[in-house]
Structure 1
Amino acid sequence: MFNSNRSDLLQFVQRNHQHIKQWLKDFRVYDLASRTLNRCTPRQGYRRIENIAYGLKGRHRLDLYISEQQRFSARPLVVFVYGGAWLRGDKSDYLFVGEALTSCGYDVAVINYQHAPQHQFPSYVHDVSLALEFLNQQQVKYGISTEQIALMGHSAGAFNIVSLLHHPTVLESATLDCVRAVVGIAGPYHFDYLGDPIAADAFDQQIPYQQVMPYYFVRAHAARHYLFLAAKDTVVMPSNSYDLHRQLLARGNHSQLSVIPRTNHVSVMGSFASIFSRFFSTKAQIIAALDESFQDLLIQN
């Protein structure tokens, strides 16, 4: 790209300073890690249908992963919502999630949603609701079933799925009655976003966090809740999960909290990849939680 002339390189940097600055801001080590994981992810054992439009907006797109495994009498559907501080992320980065779940007999939908700062709460939670409605309406076309659903999310995505189930301002959906499991990984469920250097753009700063955080709106629901913490998380405080866990139990819900050893906020998601299942307990614990939720559908060997 550059010749050997140092002055040409300096001139290029000066001319493109703002573009380079923005690229550095947007680039995350996690992006590189997820792309590396995807390259190492098997392409067998599932069928992938990409870029399905579930709504009218540009980011209203999802990828479906249809499992070829026969562990269940009727395959449950896991809807996965990624993190990224509500500012960034893309479904294409999570091939490894689709593979890990389909290898255990689950169908998977990985969804995109609209990002901050152009879109703030509850916009991105409504997007998840819209995706669920679409999947419910199109289940015959795509060969899936929405009668047995698990919601799974990492970080901001975990906030989205818990808010979808519990926050009263989120659009009610009959599909939510089919949710049997909620798997939240390193989720921010109870924090003050006022002036927060990471999350402030995702929320209206004029609205107190007590009117937004799902912790304050937990209601009784039949779904089993599984909250997973990264042992070395320095991005989302552990109190988020511990507080929600106590609130769920106080409202009569099922809730189980687990800590994944030797992981941080980013690696806890990457460690879910099948290639790491020998080194981390993440996949085994999450699959065990899902299997517990759908044990009546498991085919007995």
Structure 2
Amino acid sequence: MLSKMAQSVKYSLNQKILRAKSACQDFRLYDVGSYALNRLTPRTGYTLHKNIAYGLKARQCLDIFFSAKPRSQRPLIVFVHGGAWLHGDKKDYRFVGEAFAKEGYDVAIINYHLAPEYIFPSYIDDLSLALNYLTQHQLKLKIQAEQIILMGHSAGAFNIMSALYHPQPYSLKSREKIRAVVGLCGPYHFDYKDDPLCADAFDQSVSYQHVMPYYFVEPNKIKHYLFTASNDQVVAKNNAIDFDHILKKKGNHSQMISIPRTGHISILGSVSSLFSRYFQTKKQILHVLNEALDT
């Protein structure tokens, strides 16, 4: 008969497996949903330039949505998709590019290398390379990299925070131009050891205390906005609570924003032009971006 401790461990493991299965099912459903969203996303109000290489490898490419809305200073949103570092492609996020391009933002959506073939910090290396490329080639690309917003969902939110807060800080030519970081349901402080969903994305011999951005926060003037979904069953809210706490402890700006009636996947889908009127997500993001850019 199992001891109480063994029963507790078994129960905890079973719960993790159930959450992982649920998350994988959600990602599959999201593939179907994003396909439908993108098919119905308007093709007006922006120009799309696909598959711009920011590096030499196949996954090192990005799409740029150029806003058709006149604006003297066009801020640049760099969006990083989620998918537990195992899954996802920029082509699935046309609805994100359109949603913000119609508001006067240029939007770059990047691909990056995925696990299990590539593990941390490969995907952070890719993001840093993409940011430097966008900054160095802004004239050729016809973008303005003077006001940059980093935005990421789930694993992508981890990536954008890790590009700023990393055990070996990156040489980001755009660091002083980053006005805000917007993390949607990001895992900023968790133990990935044997995690059934994302263990393959990290070196299991390295402790999470040597990886998580929570442990490497440094003071700066960037505005941090940590969005959570009220019904998130994948990423625990403590990730945002802990990260908000350490950011403020270091003297940084940080604000937590909970979006009602959304889950881990639907919080991102709710920014789509098809659904944004029914949810607070896009409205709240635009509000904080205006706040950050007016500072």
Could you state the TM-score of these two structures normalised by the residue count of structure 1? Answer: 0.88
CA shift, 1:173, in A, is: 1.4
Shift of 1:138: 1.3
Distance between the aligned counterparts of 1:258 and 1:26, measured in 2? 23
Deviations 1:232-284 (A, max 9, x none): 00100000001000110000000010100000000011011122121100000
Q: How does 1:3-82 map to 2 (within 5 A)?
A: 28-70=28-70, 72-82=71-81
Structure 1, residues 98-117: CA drift from partner, whole Å, max 9, x if none? 01111110000000000011
Where 1:294 maps in the other structure, the secondary structure is helix
1:102 to 2:104 alignment: no
Q: Which amino acid aligns with 1:113?
A: Y
Match of 1:12 in 2: none
Structure 1 residues 25 and 231: alpha-carbon distance in aligned structure 2, compared to 1, 3 A threshold: closer
Task: Classify the secondary structure of the residue corresponding to 2:174.
Answer: helix
Question: Using the alignment, how far apart are the partners of 1:276 and 1:81 within structure 2?
Answer: 21
Inter-partner Cα distance in structure 1 for 2:78 and 2:209: 27
Q: Give distance in 2, aligned partners of 1:194 and 1:268.
A: 27
Match of 2:13 in 1: none
Q: Which residue of 1 aligns with 2:186?
A: 187
| Kept in 2: contact 1:46–1:102 (CA 8 A) | yes
Identity %: 56
2:271 aligns with 272
For 1:174 and 1:202, how far apart are their aligned partners in 2? Answer: 27
Note the aligned Cα RMSD (angstroms): 1.4
Q: Is the 8 A contact 1:274 1:283 kept in 2?
A: no
CA contact (8 A) 1:125 1:170 kept: no
Tell me what 2:256 maps to.
257
User: Matches of 2:268 and 2:27 in 1, distance apart?
Assistant: 18
8 Å CA contact retained: 1:219, 1:251: yes
* Alpha carbons 1:126, 1:170 under 8 Å: kept: no
- Partners of 1:168 and 1:217 within 8 A in 2: yes
- When residues 27 and 175 of structure 1 are mapped into structure 2, their CA distance, relative to the original with a 3 A threshold, is closer
Separation of aligned partners in 2, 1:37 and 1:219: 38
Gaps of 5+ in 1: 1-23, 297-301
Deviation at 1:27, TM superposition (A): 7.0
* Contact 1:78 1:150 survives alignment (8 Å): yes
Report the Cα offset of residue 26 of structure 1: 11
Which runs of structure 1 show a deviation greater than 3 angstroms over 4 or more consecutive aligned residues?
A: 24-27
Q: CA deviation at 1:135?
A: 0.8
Shift of 1:222: 1.0
CA distance in 2 between partners of 1:30 and 1:66 (Å): 25
Alpha-carbon distance between aligned partners in 2 of 1:174 and 1:36, rounded to the nearest angstrom = 37
Counterpart CA distance in 2 for 1:170 and 1:121 is 14
Q: Tell me which structure has the larger Cα radius of gyration.
A: 1
| Partner residue, 1:14 | none
TM-score by length of 2: 0.90
Deviation of 1:45 after TM superposition, in Å, equals 0.6
CA 91–235 in structure 1, closer or farther in 2 if over 3 Å, else same: same
Partner of 2:19: none
Check conservation: 2:54, 2:133, Cα contact below 8 A.
Answer: yes
